[in-house]
Each structure stands twice: as C-alpha cells, then as structure tokens.
Amino acid sequence: MEKFSILWDSTALAHFHYQQLIMMGVGLLLLYLAIVKKFEPLLLIPIGFGALLTNIPLAGFSEPGGLLYYIYEVGIETGVFPLLIFMGVGAMTDFGALIANPRMLLLGAAAQFGIFATLFGAIALNLIPGFEFSLKDASAIAIIGGADGPTAIFLASRLSPDLLGAIAVAAYSYMALVPIIQPPIMKALTTKEERQIKMAQLRPVSQREKIIFPLAVLILTILFLPSATPLVGMFCFGNLMKECGVVERLSKTTQNELINTTTIFLGLAVGSKLSADKFLTVETLGILGLGAVAFAIGTATGVLMAKLMSRLSGGTINPLIGAAGVSAVPMAARVVNKVGLQANPHNFLLMHAMGPNVAGVLGSAVAAGVLLALVG
Amino acid sequence: MNSEIAGQLNEAGTLMLVGMGFVFAFLALLIGGIKLIEITCRRFPGAPEPVASASGKKKVEQQSSEGVAPQTIAAISAAIHQHRQTKTKQQEHA
C-alpha cells in the first residue's frame, strides 16, 4: 500500500495545480490558432509546445537542470536568439523600394508613435489598482507597437524578463491580426478618392546603392545611437550578405537554416516563460490590451503622416501606404495592397508599401535603441 | 502614491517627445544619406566590369535580365502580383 502511494505521488495527476492546467490550455489554444487558424504558425507552434512542456509538474523543464531553462539562458537571457533572427530578417529584406523613394522613411518613423503612446498608456494604467508597471516594464510592453517580434523579445529580455512571455505572445498574436486590425482604421482616416490615388513607378535601384545602404545605416547608428547597434548591426550584416552577391552560401544559410533553427529554439524559450505564476496575472490582460492599442495608434499615425505627405506632394502619394509603416513585414504591405485594390481594382500598391514597411523595421529598431539608452 | 504616478507620467511624456523626435531625426538623416548615395552612384557610374569580372557567370545573368524591356518587366510583375493576390484570397477562403 505504501508502494502504491509512492507510485501515485510520482504521477503528474497528483501534482497538477489548476493554474498549470489553465496554462496548458493556453498552450493548446496557441497550437490551435497556429494549426487551424494559421496564425504565425512558425512561431506559435514552438511557443505553444514550450508552454505545454514548461507546465508539466515534476518534469522541471524550466528549472535549473531542465532543457528549456538552458535554452532560455543561452538564447534569450543573452539576447542572442532575437539578434540571430534579426540577421536573418536582414538577409531576407530588399531595401530597393525604400532606396528608390527614401521619403518613405518618414512614414516608418510616424508609425512608431504607437510605441511611445503606449509607453504613456502603460504608465497611466498604474492609476488602476492592481497594475504596477515600472518605466522599464512600460517600455518593454510599448515595443509591441513596433510590430516586430525579434525586436520586442530583445527589448523585453533586456528590460523586463518577467513579462517576456506575455509580451512575445501579444506581439506575435497582433502581427497575425494585422489584416483584421488595420483596414477599419485605414478606411476611417482616408476618403475613397485618396485610396484611389495611383503612384508613379519606382526607379530601378543599382546593386551598388543596395550594397552601400546597409553600411550607411550602420555608420549612422554607430555615430548617433550605439545602443541600437546590436539590432541594427545584425540586421545590416544580414542585408549586406544578401546584397553584396559574393557570399551567396552564407546569405542562403542565414535566410533559411539558421533562422529556422533559431526560430525553433526561440519559440520554445518564449513558451517556457508561459508559466502560471508569470502569465496568470492582471498585468497580462493589461499587456494584451495595450498591445492592441499600440498597433491601432501606430497604424493611425502612419496613415495620418502619409495623408500629410500626400497633401504636401500634391496628391502623388496614396495615404494608405502609411499603414505599412508599422513594420510587420510583409503582412502590413499586403493589407495596404488589398485595401487599395478594393478602392481601385487596377491600383497595385504592394511595391510602394514595401518602402514604408521596411522603413518601419528600421524605425522600430531605432525606437528600441532609444528606449534602451534612456530607460535601460 | 498619486504624485509618484504623476512623476512617472511626466517622465513617460518626456520619453515620448524625446523618443519620437529622435526617431524622426534619425530617419530624416537617413533620407539625406540615401540621397547622397544616389547622387554619388550617379556621378561616378563606376565600371561595372570589376564586379562582373569577379564572377563571370553572374555578368551573363545580369545582362540577360537587363536586356528585358522595362514594360515587359512591369507587365510580368503585375501578373505575378495578381496571381499571388488571388492565391492568398483562395487561402483565406479555405
């Protein structure tokens, strides 16, 4: 009989806490969203599975000695994984559309207002009892508005590791929801005539310009914002490998094997942060709410800036492309194209939206650097 | 307690102004940078040979793509685009 009770004691059944069951439910929900709804499956599958593993009683995946503990310590605590992913993103990004029309950088900048407005909003939430966000927490939450997964994870791991799970889940969920969040805001802020504006074809960009561009970005970052060099530096490195054309093998590895391998471990490590004590809090609700606000504000300021530029340029810019300034490459640009086609079935805005889209990636990396420099 | 939050809000407000200002200034500077690159590249159209001689195979590929008329490229990319668009629509319906 004693043996039986020892055996019973070694099963998970005897040790399940209801909170762990809830978190496993959250993990299963993420798996469902990824598999059935196709929401960012590349990330939500590792994250959801990591959430399942980390909440197994007795197994100790996320305690010293456990697999996920080490993956987290090696990859995210150090900031290595998000930076490797950023290098891969750099190697997949074509800056041609931006170099052909550099004014689009202003749209990428305007859309970052979502980040800073959310920072303010997160601190304002402290007025409600139950919320106690420090300035660091608020900055880490606000970066969700940058709509850039690796940037959000990198900043959260630096400023507020306890909130990392919720922030990463919110960031990737809202990126998947871009086609639902953005169009109503875009339509509300523009008139039908504005949405029909056709834009002039972009000039061709030479390979030399594309090679010099990442170096120029890096030099500017070195001079003015060294705190952003981890992000921008890796991004530019990846981009240079792609554009220079002499290290095709490295560029291919960066774009495929390396980023895929890193994504698997990054997802698992983020999932390991979805433990009951860190996730089942009021703060998580606040983070999810603030994330949606951040996206909405970023979209709105991007569109408004584009509207302003459209007026100043005498109607040669379609204000819809401002919405692509929130990064979320290439989803946001596709959404712009779709909304544009609804207004005028012969108006293809995709290439024009890629400019502000990649500008948004740079913009959110710069914003992350500013937050690191001022708050970190 | 409330004065503490007021202080934090103040700080967040400052951060908002400084941050946005910096992001705009940085990216505006980058606009200048890109213009500069464009002008230099145009002024010194540099021999494309050195790049090509490094990898002869590449040169052939590049030339063949340059030989296509811009109208043709525009038509092809529009067609590809439309195809992709319908594909994503189908996926969404699925």
The answer to whether B20 contacts A245, with C-beta atoms less than 8 Å apart, is: no
User: Is the CB of residue A316 less than 8 Å away from at least one CB of chain B?
Assistant: no
Q: Own/partner pairs for A29-35, CB < 8 Å, 24+ apart? A: A30/A169, A33/A173, A33/A176
Region A198-227: mean pLDDT is: 94
pLDDT of residue B92: 56
A10 pLDDT band, cuts 50/70/90, is confident
DSSP states of A42-68 as a string? HHHHHHHHHHHHHT-TTT-TTSTTSHH
pLDDT tens figures, A132-141: 999 999 999 9
What does the block give as tokens for A89?
A: 């993103």
Q: How far is B16 from chain A (nearest CA, A)?
A: 5
**Percentage of chain A with pLDDT > 90?**
86
Q: Given its phi and psi angles, is residue A126 left (phi above 0), alpha (psi -120 to 50 degrees) or beta?
A: alpha
CB spacing of B15 vs A206 below 8 angstroms: no
Asked if the Cβ–Cβ distance from A102 to B35 is below 8 Å, we say: yes
Query: What is the C-alpha separation between A233 and A242, in angstroms, rounded?
Result: 14
Report the run of H or E that residue B10 belongs to, with start and end.
helix B2-43
Q: Are A26 and A57 in contact (CB under 8 A)?
A: no
A321, A306 in Cβ contact below 8 A? yes
Buried b (16+ CB within 10 A) or exposed e, A101-117: bbbbbbbbbbbbbbbbb
Q: Give the mean pLDDT of chain A.
A: 93
Which H or E element spans position A305?
helix A282-312
CB of A1 within 8 Å of any CB in chain B? no
Q: Are A39 and A31 in contact (CB under 8 A)?
A: no
Q: Using one digit for the tens of pLDDT, what is the confidence trace for A77-101?
A: 999 999 999 999 999 999 999 999 9
Cα–Cα distance for residue pair A252/A67, rounded to 1 Å: 29
Read off the pLDDT of each residue in B14-35 and give the average, rounded to a whole number: 95
Q: Are A251 and A91 in contact (CB under 8 A)?
A: yes
Do A207 and B51 lie within an 8 Å CB cutoff?
yes
Alpha helices (H) along A75-176: 80-92, 96-100, 105-110, 113-124, 135-142, 149-159, 164-176
**B44-63 confidence digits (pLDDT tens):** 877 554 444 444 444 444 44
Token pair for A308: 């302003």
Peptide bond into B70 cis (omega under 30): no
CB pairs under 8 A between A and B: 124
DSSP result, A167-182: HHHHHHHHHHTHHHHH
Residue A354 is given by DSSP the state H
Select from A104, A17, A75 the least CA-distant residue to A322. A104
Chain A hits for B26, CB-CB cut-off 8 Å, are: 109, 220, 224-225, 366
Q: How far apart are the first and last CA of chain B?
A: 53
B23, A98: Cβ pair inside 8 Å? no
> What is d(CA A236, CA A214) in angstroms, rounded to the nearest whole number?
5
Residue A15 and residue A266: Cα distance in Å, rounded? 28
- Write the CB contacts of A268 (distance below 8 Å, at least 6 apart in sequence): A46, A47, A49, A50, A53, A68, A71
In chain A, residues with a C-beta closer than 8 Å to the C-beta of B87 are: none
Give the residue from A206, A207, A371 with the most B CB atoms within 10 Å of its CB, the best one to mutate: A206
Rounded Cα gap, residues A353 and A321, in angstroms: 5
Q: Which of A103, A109, A246 sits opposite B54 (nearest CB)?
A: A246
Is A219:A240 a contact under the CB 8 Å cutoff? no
Percent of chain A with pLDDT over 70: 100
Q: Please report the pLDDT score of residue B56 as a whole number.
A: 43
CA–CA distance, B30 with A102 (Å, rounded to integer): 8
Q: Chain A contacts of B33, Cβ < 8 Å?
A: 216-217, 220
Residue among A109, A204, A245 whose CB faces B58 most closely = A245
d(CA A248, CA A351): 25
Amino acid at A192: K
pLDDT at B68 over 80: no
Say whether A116 and B16 touch across the interface (CB within 8 A). Answer: yes
Kindly state the tokens that stand for B16: 């908002």
Give me the residue from B16, B27, B78 closest to A108, CB to CB.
B27
Read off the pLDDT of residues A319-332 as tens digits, 9 standing for 90 and up: 999 999 998 888 99
Which band of pLDDT confidence, cut at 50, 70 and 90, is reported for residue A27? very high
